Amino acid sequence: MVYEHHEENVHDHYGHDHADEHGHPHGLSHASIGGKRGLLIALGITLLMMVAEIIGGVLSNSLALLSDAGHMFTDTLALALSFFAMKFAELPATDRKTFGFYRLEIIAALVNGTVLMLISLYIIYEAYMRIASPPEVQGGLMLVVAIIGLVVNIAGALVLVKHHKTSLNIRGAFLHIIGDAVSSVGVIIGGVVITYTGWYLIDPILSMLIAVGIIAGAVGLVSESVNVLLESAPSHLNVATLAVEIAAIQGVREAYHIHVWTITSGVHALSAHVVIDDQMVSDSRVVLDNIRTLLSDRFRILHSTIQMECRRCDDEGVCSLPTDIKNSR
């Protein structure tokens, strides 16, 4: 007996949302209206600030400011990619893409993290080239633009902070904004130092420090995205513990061939073989409901495919485990 349990907000071929057996529709936080609106607002803010920093960087001859403008450019692309990935993720499932387009979010997060690391490495290279012969920088203009940038980035971060833990995509966008805010703080410090001391070396040094901080945040984003694409078990879940807890449910003998993976942020799936006591098919539904409750409440798994089996008995009444489970030991 194979039972499938879908509780996430998947769509049927006619574009209608599925609900659970109690009639409650299920929505994904990563596709919420608030999250998309936040991305759009952050996108507009970042685009305007990028233009301002390019102008200010050229006029002041500040590498830190131009580096931050380059970072803003990648942020603009990343936020746009994140928004369109979330829009595509809402498309209904098809016969070819039975899980829909949820993985586009993970791909976008992977691209965002990778671009962040590449641009940071380029900033480090440019800063290294300037250390040998620091050019003159107009600290006053650099300071004014950086202060404006900090205010703008704080506003963008506040827009996304409520949603950044619900989606890798929004988390990537949030990291971009936070990286920009930290960069602005560094540039402000550099502007003050240059204005009052004339020590131009502070500009490339700050650029390097900013880049290293951005890389540190991007590595975690890329690592988590790769784990999802490789269908690794979610970090919050131990498969061995899961098998033991399923086996402890009344009417269950053993759980094996368990596979757990993440479809997209917050949406985990499971398939498993479960050996149950010999009983009527209608009675097995109670066992299934108990398994589903455990998966949902204890392990946050809302999509499951359970194949139920029972011990095989020969004509003389001697029972044994299914062949698959004996071979798996």
302-312, pLDDT tens digit by residue?
A: 889 999 888 66
Four-residue CA torsion sign, 121, 125, 131, 137: negative
Say if CB 1 and CB 285 are below 8 A apart.
Answer: no
Q: What's the pLDDT score for residue 273? A: 93
Q: With the CA atoms of 29, 34, 36 and 41 taken in that order, what torsion angle do they form, in degrees rounded to the nearest 10?
A: -150
Q: What's the pLDDT score for residue 18? A: 36
Q: What's the pLDDT score for residue 242? A: 93
What are 201-251's pLDDT values in tens digits?
Answer: 888 888 788 788 778 778 887 888 898 899 888 888 899 999 999 999 998
The answer to whether residue 16 scores a pLDDT higher than 60 is no
Say if CB 249 and CB 287 are below 8 A apart.
Answer: yes
Q: What's the pLDDT score for residue 240? A: 92
Q: What's the pLDDT score for residue 259? A: 94
What Rg value do the Cα atoms of the chain yield, rounded? Answer: 26
Q: How confident is the model at residue 13 (pLDDT cuts 50, 70, 90)?
A: very low
Say if CB 233 and CB 256 are below 8 A apart.
Answer: no
Query: What distance lies between CA 112 and its chain's CA centroid?
Result: 10
The answer to whether residue 320 scores a pLDDT higher than 70 is no
Q: What's the pLDDT score for residue 7? A: 45
Q: What's the pLDDT score for residue 255? A: 93
Q: What's the pLDDT score for residue 29? A: 42
Please give the domain boundaries of the chain with CATH numbers for all domains.
32-229 (1.20.1510.10), 239-327 (3.30.70.1350)
Residue with tokens 């502007």: 191
Q: What's the pLDDT score for residue 23? A: 34
Q: Where are the alpha helices (DSSP H) in the chain?
A: 33-60, 63-89, 103-131, 139-160, 168-197, 202-229, 239-247, 281-299, 323-327
Name the nearest CA neighbour of 25 among 38, 43, 7.
7
What are 36-95's pLDDT values in tens digits?
Answer: 777 777 788 778 888 888 888 888 877 777 777 766 776 777 777 777 767 776 778 788
What are 140-195's pLDDT values in tens digits?
Answer: 888 888 888 888 888 888 877 776 666 666 777 777 777 778 778 878 888 888 88
Q: How confident is the model at residue 323 (pLDDT cuts 50, 70, 90)?
A: low
Four-residue CA torsion sign, 253, 256, 259, 260: positive
